[in-house]
Amino acid sequence: MTGQERHIREMIKGQEQKIAQCQKKIDELNMALFEYLSSIPEPMPPPEDHHNYCGKILYPSEKAAHAARKLINRDFVKVGKPPMKRAYFCHRCEAWHLTTIEKWMPFPENEIQQQNTI
């Protein structure tokens, strides 16, 4: 074996050692990453929504609906539209809505019975 060949073989051996050290470091980093990712709790799935939306504008509370009604009515008056009269709770979508209807009696027979019992 000539000096040139020996030198090249020693260089190859040195590079192989460096590769082995790098592979060892990569394995250590992969293990650290695995441990870190295992310690993070999985995100909670969003809660299931069982509401049946009716397609109207939703307000989370009666107070929010009345605040929006004031702003909406200010603009409606400017363009001559009838103002929103009241807020009501929708049992279908479990939210509050606004309406221009002043009074609503979905079951007049129930209202009459209540008046008679008083």
Rounded Cα–Cα distance for residues 19 and 27 (Å) = 12
Rounded Cα–Cα distance for residues 84 and 68 (Å) = 10
pLDDT per position as a tens digit, 47-78: 777 678 888 999 999 999 999 999 999 988 88
pLDDT per position as a tens digit, 10-48: 999 999 999 999 999 999 999 999 999 889 888 888 777
pTM: 0.47
Rounded Cα–Cα distance for residues 21 and 70 (Å) = 72
Q: Cβ of 40: how many Cβ atoms within 10 Å? A: 7
Nearest CA to 60 out of 98, 95, 91 is that of 95
